Amino acid sequence: MADQPVLAQLHFGREDAERDVTEGLLLRGGFLPNAAYRGALSGRKMLIIGRKGSGKSAICMRLMSDAGHAGGKVLVTPDEAAGEEIRRFELQGLPGDSAKALIWRYVFAVHAARHLVDHAKGAHEGGHKTDSVKALGRFLKQNGEAAGGGGRLVERLAQGARGLQTSLSLEAFGVKASVDLAQSPSEGARAARQLEIVEQGVARAFTDLGCDGVVHPPLLLMVDQLEQVWSAEPDSNSMVIGLLLAAKHAASLYGRSVRFLLFLRADIYDSLSFGEGDKFHGDELRIAWTEQALRDLALARARASVGEELTEERLWKELFPETVDGEEITGHLFGRCLPRPRDAIQFLNLCQEKAWLDHERDRITEADVAQAGRQFSEWKLKDLTSEYLVAHPFLRNLFPLFQNTGYVVTRAALTRRFEAAAETLHHDFPAYANALTLPGVIDVLHGAGFLGVRRGNDVVYAGDDGLPVQPHETEFQVHPCFRAALGATTAFDLRRYEPQLADARVSSGNFGPAGSGSSSLNRDDRLLMQLGRSCHSILAQVGRAVGLTRDVRDEITLQVSRVLGEVNRIPPGAAASVGVDVDDYLLTTAHYFNGLAAQLRASGLEESTGIGEVAGRVEEEERRLRRSAGGSYGSSGESGGP
């Protein structure tokens, strides 16, 4: 390993936190403490919310490690069987949310009781002889929940559910369930009373041991990976709402003795609607990643993998190319990722693999980054479909609306495309017909991070601010992450100008008709000068259209500059000698301008952007060129592009 180049050792870690911990990188300097981690560690926040791949499980794994939370810790990660047990749990006399809150409270109480029985033996001399602790031990044993034993979570859940629905063994707390609880008016009231007795027993033991989070760090109870057992059904939502209600109740009951952390995917949390929802805002902490934070994370992980003091300059200027397509490397890389660690890790590792594994290079080239970018884009388009498969199963069927076209799309253009596809979408997804409207589709695509919306001179994607797409907003952009996979690599679906002249037949010099000072210019030269002036006139008008999105302005400029660049390569006085029929050349170019103007007018861009003035100038120059060349179209105009 030591004699291998640095690039061979370079690795940015695994996409999933569990493997990252196993292989050591997450705990070997590859973890970047952020606001979400600090909020979780301090106990100030109870709900850590983020998109898939945003680092929720990484925070969880870090807290579970020796370098994380110093006290006792328990991680609950329900599998499908456990999730099904919770979803099916019902109690007569209680709504679904409240019933599922009880089963979650039972899970928390049992974990806390097991912790206390074990903790009293190891951290408190004689603590295990305390009456309240002994009572917990007896309760756990009588109900098959003995500390140190256990079985799978689903088995304990099933046992607890049966106990709450019938009767728990509460003799350890001096209660004969069959007698003392016989007067409960309903199954739900009976279960709630049983659970209160258990919770009071746990709280009493914390108090008797003096475990208030000061002498000993509090017990940390975490729940992660709920998305594995969630579906967009009412019972799944009740399962999550019940978890929130249970954690809020237990946090209040146990005070500083127990700390709760729930890691929830943003789309799941945002889909919930319940009366107590406004009481959780103070507990929320949403994970947000900036480009700079992703750069810092990448550097930390690169250093952890290489095992040496790797500087930022060496990473981004020696191991990676400084620029790609004229764009600074970090802007190119992180601008093509959704703002979350998993995407960045995958893209960076893919660049390394293209260079080292595929080509055995000791540094990454622009070609490697470009090749990795295409594959990464295809991955992410598929991953987006998977991420939202439960909530929006129709998402994949919306992508053809954006294939092989410009990545800037207006509401008007999207309206035309959607209307053509609406009947098929409604037929294939009848249960989602209410969501499959143009405003609904725009909201879904924006919320998923697929579409950004133009606000002023900026394009805003989901997460940049909390404001949804407004009805008056009319211009959108496909996120750079997905453009290569869709074939939407140019800003605007403009007809590309195809050169009319073969390179071998024209001069490669930098002079041209527009720059000649000769007083004996022939007619061909004057016509070519006119074409050059028309191009400059159009470019000047584009420059004044400050309301245009920069990407659209650049695309128009690119095509007109291609025309100008070609005419400037024709030597003065030599048009005929290099085989250029200037009249036909001007008329064909005018034909291209005519089509360009029509596309600009049909773009759907707001007049306030200045697109109308640009189209008008193109039309004006097109008419001027036709008049100069004789007033009729030359050839078929097909050389202007397909």
Is residue 314 domain-shared with residue 262, that is, in the same domain? no
Is residue 118 domain-shared with residue 226, that is, in the same domain? yes
pTM: 0.81
Kindly tell me if the per-residue pLDDT of 612 is higher than 60: yes
Q: Is residue 497 part of a domain?
A: no
Give me the mean pLDDT over the 476-485 stretch: 96
Supply the pLDDT for residue 86: 85
Confidence grade of residue 109 (pLDDT, cut at 50, 70, 90): very high
Give me the mean pLDDT over the 503-516 stretch: 45
Supply the pLDDT for residue 510: 41
Confidence grade of residue 236 (pLDDT, cut at 50, 70, 90): confident
Domain edge (last residue) among 286, 307, 332: 286
Domain edge (last residue) among 261, 286, 311: 286
Supply the pLDDT for residue 418: 96
Q: Is residue 30 part of a domain?
A: no
- Tens of pLDDT, residues 532-556: 999 999 999 999 998 888 888 999 9
> Diameter of the chain by CA atoms?
118
Percent of the chain exceeding pLDDT 70 equals 89
Q: Which two tokens stand for residue 360?
A: 């055995």
- Tens of pLDDT, residues 117-128: 888 887 666 656
Please, what's the b/e burial string for 521-556 (b: 16 or more CB within 10 A of its CB; e: otherwise)?
Answer: beebbebbbbbbebbebbbebbeebebbbeebbebb
Kindly tell me if the per-residue pLDDT of 178 is higher than 60: no
Is residue 66 domain-shared with residue 140, that is, in the same domain? yes
Supply the pLDDT for residue 120: 85
Kindly tell me if the per-residue pLDDT of 67 is higher than 60: yes
Is residue 410 domain-shared with residue 379, that is, in the same domain? no
Is residue 477 domain-shared with residue 589, that is, in the same domain? no
Is residue 383 domain-shared with residue 436, that is, in the same domain? no
Asked whether the CA dihedral 416, 417, 420, 424 is positive or negative, the reply is: negative
Kindly tell me if the per-residue pLDDT of 168 is higher than 80: yes
Give me the mean pLDDT over the 584-600 stretch: 92
Kindly tell me if the per-residue pLDDT of 149 is higher than 60: no
β-partners of residue 74 are 221
Kindly tell me if the per-residue pLDDT of 511 is higher than 80: no
Confidence grade of residue 517 (pLDDT, cut at 50, 70, 90): very low
Q: Is residue 26 part of a domain?
A: no
Supply the pLDDT for residue 574: 77
Supply the pLDDT for residue 561: 95
Confidence grade of residue 469 (pLDDT, cut at 50, 70, 90): very high
- Tens of pLDDT, residues 550-580: 888 999 999 999 999 999 988 888 777 777 8
Is residue 403 domain-shared with residue 357, that is, in the same domain? no
Supply the pLDDT for residue 28: 60
Confidence grade of residue 504 (pLDDT, cut at 50, 70, 90): very low
The chain-wide mean pLDDT, for the chain, equals 86
Confidence grade of residue 29 (pLDDT, cut at 50, 70, 90): low
Q: Which two tokens stand for residue 504?
A: 């071998």
Confidence grade of residue 639 (pLDDT, cut at 50, 70, 90): very low
- Tens of pLDDT, residues 35-57: 888 888 888 889 999 988 888 88
Q: Is residue 307 part of a domain?
A: yes
- Look at 17 and 134; give whichever has higher pLDDT: 134
Q: How wide is the angle at C-alpha 371 spanned by C-alphas 369 and 372, nearest 5°?
A: 65
Kindly tell me if the per-residue pLDDT of 339 is higher than 60: yes
* Rg of the chain on CA atoms, in Å: 33
Domain edge (last residue) among 231, 253, 286: 286
- Tens of pLDDT, residues 405-432: 999 999 989 999 999 999 999 999 999 9
Specify the number of domains making up the chain: 4
Is residue 295 domain-shared with residue 261, that is, in the same domain? no
What distance in Å separates the CA atoms of residue 266 and residue 248, rounded to the nearest whole number?
A: 19
Is residue 282 domain-shared with residue 303, that is, in the same domain? no
Give me the mean pLDDT over the 27-42 stretch: 78
Q: Is residue 491 part of a domain?
A: no
DSSP secondary structure, 303-345, as one string: HHHHTS---HHHIIIIIS-SEETTEEHHHHHHHTS-SSHHHHH
Percent of the chain exceeding pLDDT 90 equals 47
Is residue 152 domain-shared with residue 185, that is, in the same domain? yes
Is residue 39 domain-shared with residue 165, that is, in the same domain? yes
Kindly tell me if the per-residue pLDDT of 295 is higher than 90: yes
Q: Is residue 439 part of a domain?
A: yes
Supply the pLDDT for residue 125: 65
Kindly tell me if the per-residue pLDDT of 10 is higher than 60: yes
Structural domain containing residue 530? 503-640
Contacts 24+ apart (CB under 8 A), 404-407: 404/486, 404/487, 404/488, 405/487, 405/488, 405/493, 406/488, 406/490, 406/491, 406/492, 406/493, 406/494, 406/555, 407/477, 407/478, 407/480, 407/483, 407/486, 407/488, 407/489, 407/490, 407/491, 407/551
Q: Is residue 140 part of a domain?
A: yes
Is residue 258 domain-shared with residue 300, that is, in the same domain? no
Residue 537 contacts residue 565 (beta carbons within 8 Å): no
Q: Is residue 568 part of a domain?
A: yes
